[in-house]
Chains A and B, each alone.
Chain A
Amino acid sequence: MSPAQPDRANDPEIEELPPDISRRARRLLGSLIRPHLTLAVVLIVSITGGGIMSVAGPFFVARAIDEGLPAALDGDTSPLVVAIAAVALTGVADAAATWLSIRLNGRLSQKILFDLRGRLFTHVQRLDLRYHERSTSGRLVSRQTSDMESVQQFVSQALNGMVLSLLTMSAIAVTLVVMNVPLALVAFAGFIPLVFLTVYAHRQQRSAYRRTRTSIARVIVQFVETMGGIRAVQSFRRQRPGLARLTGEDAVYAQANTDALHGVATFAGGTRLIGNLSQTGIILLGGWLVISGYTQLGVLAAFLLYLRRFYGPLDELVQSFSLYQSASAALEKITAVLDAEPDVDAPADPQPLPERHTGTGRSISFDDVSFAYDSEGPEVLPAFDLEIPAGQIVAVVGATGAGKSTLVKLLTRMYDPSTGTVRLDGVDVRGIDDAQLRQSLVMVTQESYLFSGTIADNIRIGNPDATDAQVLAAAEAVGLDPYVRSLPEGYDTDVKKRGGRLSSGQRQLVSFARVFLADPDVIVLDEATAHLDIPSERLIQQALARVLEGRTAIIIAHRLSTVEIADRVLVMDAGRVVEDGTPAALIHGDSRFGRMYSAWQDSLA
């Protein structure tokens, strides 16, 4: 069996990055540095100081030999001593400046990375479900890890070196000109081919580094998916196909990396060749100038010393340049995530909800609402109106795919309707501040995700400010307390460690405890009891009956036991509400609900 060639049709990554992405990536880098401008300036000053000192060193060496030594031979040692002392002092100053600039650079680069990581994390949280359902967790993880590492490599290693190299080179260039113009011109002539070489290398490396970013993301996606589904992988012996797929993705990555590094090789080799050729030219010319008496021997000696230092930083620049290429490919990927705008977003001008009246809940209205997942796609919910008065408990039933979950996703703003308006207490939900909306309205689904941390931490997702007593009360209400107490560390048990492996039923109880703690005005339950055994479900229902007093609730359940606590039943089919009435009225009539109810009753036998 050949491993599946992944079809990337649904893959947002396959979309070409916009043409101006590298400009936007640079702008991102700029915006990251800007807030720390003072630090950056101090850093540059310190690097410049170090650079000047390191350039000055050889200058004093030349002084010592050209002026100090002849003077000393004539009996006056003081110029020599001064020059030697200056060499030592500039060296110490250089070391001190380097010490300082590495610390400052560490501070600056870590600030930049901290900001970037935070920005990316917050933005990913802001992105709507539509984005998340198209993307994969592995891809977003690769943005925060592998891509971030590339950026880190650049800002922590190369930024410093780049500035230093450029400064040193320009300082030495000035010195060279001052020392001897014709020799300096020969030294600079090498820059003409260097420019061409750089342009060539830039093109070659950029495309290769972009490919490394895309392919490593695919490797990470495969890795994350395998490790996340390890039970299924092992049970269905998917190891071979999995490895084949990883190897395939990784081969692309290794090739891209090799291509990028080959580009660096050409660049580094070419740079070195240009440097060496101009050095030979300078010795030739210099030798001739000295022999012809135009130049002193000491000047040539110093010039040659400087020349090494002039071309030396070029190696550093080559290295920094390739780190920059790699980092900018990574920044482009990060920029693409940061540039994605959620369709469902916090309102610019939030409308306040009316004061909360305890004991009434809030009213809900769907006004001419319709919904399709994308503009060309089929309508999942054709236009409809629905009024739910405050305090009502509504059960929504219907076959899989009837649109029940979609209905509540519109209310909870996981999605926004294609047309029409969803209102909470008369206020358009799109205009409500997110914090207030989430405080007033909470949804539990059958997916009960646990975050690393303790059991108490996980319950506190309902309300991070809850006291221990409140957490305990919530756990008691849902029947989780006896189990948690049986654990050696009780509520402080880590959910990923000893004793904390909650069954899916227990995880669902945690979800309920979160809702009880959140204390919202409106509760939405979407198949939230699917994994519970019947006694636990009963317990939850008893607790709900108490909790739902004075709140509005929408409950979706396949098990019609829920209906027992509902004031009203909506039966949905193909996106429409086809029946609407009290449970008692519907059970007895010749209705779909009546048939569903008796089928369910039979299943209990």
Chain B
Amino acid sequence: MRSLWRFWPDVRARLGVYLFIFVLTLGSMGIALLVPMITGWIVDGPIARGDFAGMLAPLALILLIGIAEAAAVWLRRRLIAPITSRWEVLWRERLYDRLQYVAVGVHDAWPAGQLLSRAVNDLSQLRRFFAFGLQFLIASPLIVLGGGIILASLHPYFGIIAIAAAVPTVTAIAVLERRYRLASRSAQDTMGEIATDVEEAVQGIRILKAFGRSPWAAKRFHVLSERLRGFELTKAYVDSWMFGAAIMIPVLALTAILAVGTWGVIGGWMTVGQVIAALTVTMFLRMPIEMVGFLLADFLMSVTAANRYWEVMDLPFDITDPDGEISEDPRPYSYAGHIRFDAVEYRFADAEEPILTHIDLNIAPGETLALVGATGTGKTALAALLPRLQDVTAGSITLDGTDLRDYRINELRRIVSVAFEDPVLFSTTVRENVAMGLKHADGRALPAAGTATSGTATSTSGTATSTSGTVTSTSGAGDAHDPDAEVWDALEIAAAADFVRRLPDGLDTEVGEQGLSLSGGQRQRLALARAVIGKPRVLVLDDPLSAVDVDTEDRVQTALRQVLGDSTTLVIAHRPSTAALADRVAVLEGGRITDTGTHDELLARNRHYRDLMGASSHAAAETEEVRR
């Protein structure tokens, strides 16, 4: 109930029209109640008297009322349609927008289909409820009440019968309501599971086909589908009692009125006209009463839908600007790109043990640090901390001396550019996919970072690396006038320019799920181009070349060296060739950094590192053998 009430501000914004529509609803039902009254009066009066001319005036009234009623029906539906259609998409926008900013950790806890079923099925249920159910839910009892008063005014006994009929109705509702609500919640949740399952079975289709496991997937689906059917049947069964009662009770009231009425006529204390009027009113009241079954079901489903909607809307953002909000276009300044991890710990929200502990790292401006570690040691988790996709659970990370959490989130994400291990391309052109990595991709002209940045860079890089000298030479790289030039530069670096040129529409080729399918290696290179475009200050590369062949890898690495010279880079490496790109390598072992040094130093002194790089004596010997 409360969750439905929370839509009040939207209703209030359109309250004038909504109330007018409600009046029309009530009017069109109430007006129709007048007709039997007048009809009864015509039958009792002019017709009984044989006065044909006398019935014309009230008949004209009936005609007018009939036209008005039809107009009211038309106008009500006409007016409500755009309002509720608008509400549905407005609520979906809010849900979508909330979810876009909710932290990744919170997202992971929600199966995809549960979010989708809330955004689609639940909201269309709510649209129907606000357009129809709610209006009638309020109007019907009023109409029934009005009918009851008319009955009472016709004769007090009729009033007593009406009250007597209300008691079992209310009782039935009270008994059935809870059962229906539980079934409807389970059904709607199962619908979410079905959406999840369908999405997985389509996204995992290659796996299912490769193993011939479509029958297995179908069995899984059938279990869910069967469960949904069970809940829907429970709903139908509860419905059957509600509808049955809604038919039975008014009929019994009608019988009582007929009995009492005829008794009254026999006794001479009631007229036939009175009885006919009472019967007509009761017949008329059957419609709103019979609707109670439907309305109640609709209402309960809507309560469930609203609950499910607000559950998502109430999710915390978790990762925000320092003020708890998320501002869209924070003003960026110039940054040196000095990254420091200080006693960082990270633990997944629902895990007992932290996956990363005591991480201390200092990455100087312009320095490239490779992170090397075995599968599952938390490298990706560590990388996700820099753009604050996850927040540290203890310790702190600073950028240029300021805690990451003290930056506005989108400001930080402008500074930190990422290429993920699983490259995600959006359904749009190649150009837009790559250009979105550009700092001023949002159309904002940023001051060319060149001189200011390099000035800071040289001053702060006390731990000066061999590459810091190149920083100054790059100023002005961003002021190219051809907007595509930067995209092509980035594509060249990622060795993607050749294949992009061969695409059917070049840069304008639509890729992503709705576009052309690219190979894993191609997607990875586009994602890399997106990360390196515009020479980002801080670059995070998560195993950026895993799906790329050796030749291409070689080309990319040569080109990458130029970019890495300017950017502060954290690169996750599984291969010696990638590690060799770095100025320094940190070894991640059991959630801690156990050693740092240059690739060669580590190869020389760290046995675990040699293992990870495949350069242990055993492996080397093996390789030698093949060589000979």
Contacts and interface: CB of A to CB of B under 8 A. Distances in A.
Given A237-B413, A534-B575, A560-B550, A229 B210 contact: no
Interface stretch (B5-13, B113-121, B147-155, B161-169): B113-121
B134 to A, nearest CB: 16
A268 B81 CA distance: 13
Interface in A256-275: 257-258, 261-262, 264-266, 268-270, 272-273, 275
Nearest to B577: A603
A443 interface: yes
Q: For the complex of A and B, list the 3 residue pairs with the smallest distance between their C-beta atoms, beginning with the closest.
A: A438-B212, A106-B236, A269-B74
A401 B517 contact: no
Given A145-B121, A227-B99, A236-B530, A283 B552 contact: no
A219 B430 CA distance: 22
Contacts of A417: none
Contact of B59 (A253, A261, A280, A511): A280
Interface in B10-47: 35-36, 39, 42-43, 46-47
B247 interface: yes
B241 interface: yes
Interface string A418-446: 00000000000000001101110011111
A575 interface: no
B528 interface: no
Given A103-B240, A499-B348, 13 more contacts: A84-B255, A102-B244, A110-B232, A219-B120, A223-B116, A231-B424, A269-B78, A400-B552, A437-B212, A443-B210, A502-B376, A533-B373, A558-B553
Contacts of B196: 452
A73 B264 CA distance: 11
12 contacts: A4-B432, A7-B515, A64-B262, A102-B239, A223-B116, A235-B413, A246-B93, A265-B78, A300-B47, A509-B375, A527-B520, A604-B615
B138 interface: no
B410 A237 contact: yes
Nearest to A121: B221
A538 B619 contact: yes
A145 B422 contact: no
A483 B459 CA distance: 45
Interface in A196-223: 216, 219-221, 223
A470 interface: no
Given A276-B66, A279-B66, A141 B244 contact: no
A534 B437 CA distance: 31
Nearest to B120: A146
A145 B551 contact: no
Interface residues of B, number: 190
Given A231-B420, A243-B93, A503-B375, A534 B612 contact: yes
A192 interface: no
Contacts of B269: none
A228 interface: yes
Contacts of B78: 262, 265, 269
Contacts of A105: 236
A145 B120 CA distance: 8
A497 B48 CA distance: 79
Contacts of A236: 413, 418, 436-437, 530
A532 B546 CA distance: 9
A393 interface: no
B351 A536 contact: no
Interface string A394-419: 00001111000100000010100000
B59 to A, nearest CB: 6
Which of A114, A141, A272, A518 is the most central at the interface, judged by chain B CB atoms within 10 Å of its CB? A141
A312 B287 contact: yes
Interface in A237-264: 237-240, 242-243, 246-247, 250-251, 253-255, 257-258, 261-262, 264
B189 to A, nearest CB: 13
Contacts of A547: none
A586 B190 CA distance: 58
B514 interface: yes
Contacts of A502: 376
Contacts of A9: 510
Tell me the dominant secondary structure on chain A's binding face: helix
Interface stretch (B201-209, B362-370, B486-494, B559-567): B201-209
Interface stretch (B273-281, B333-341, B399-407, B474-482): B273-281
A317 to B, nearest CB: 14
A496 B348 CA distance: 12
Interface in A543-586: 558-561, 564, 583
A233 B433 CA distance: 11
Nearest to B248: A95
A87 interface: yes
Interface stretch (B104-112, B173-181, B446-454, B463-471): B104-112
Contacts of B262: 64-65, 68-69, 72, 80, 84
Contacts of B258: 61, 64, 84, 87
A216 B120 contact: yes
B69 interface: yes
Given A6-B510, A235-B413, A261 B100 contact: no
B194 to A, nearest CB: 7
A266 B187 CA distance: 34
Which of A103, A398, A527, A530 is the most central at the interface, judged by chain B CB atoms within 10 Å of its CB? A530
B142 interface: no
B239 A106 contact: yes
A465 to B, nearest CB: 10
Contact of A72 (B208, B266, B513, B551): B266
Interface residues of A, number: 191
Given A121-B221, A532-B375, A559-B550, A107 B233 contact: yes
Given A141-B202, A145-B194, A527-B520, A535 B209 contact: no
A90 B239 CA distance: 21
Interface in B529-557: 530, 543, 546-554
Contacts of A288: 52
B393 interface: no
Interface in A479-525: 483, 488, 496-499, 501-506, 509, 511, 514, 518
Contact of A57 (B108, B229, B251): B251
A604 B100 contact: no
A137 B202 contact: yes
Contacts of A261: 77, 80-81, 85, 131
Contacts of B107: 227, 230
A122 interface: yes
B137 interface: no
Contacts of B127: 257
A462 B519 contact: no
A254 B441 contact: no
A558 B549 contact: yes
Contacts of A144: 194-195, 198
Contacts of A84: 255, 258-259, 262
A569 B12 CA distance: 73
Contacts of A111: 229
Contacts of A345: none
A297 B49 CA distance: 11
Nearest to B250: A91
Contacts of B580: 605
Given A235-B413, A243-B97, A283 B243 contact: no
A445 to B, nearest CB: 7
A287 B119 contact: no
B237 A106 contact: yes
A283 B39 contact: yes
Which of B203, B380, B549 is the most central at the interface, judged by chain A CB atoms within 10 Å of its CB? B549
A206 to B, nearest CB: 17
A478 B266 CA distance: 95
A412 B212 CA distance: 11
Contacts of B55: 283-284, 287
Contact of A400 (B121, B279, B548, B627): B548
A328 interface: no
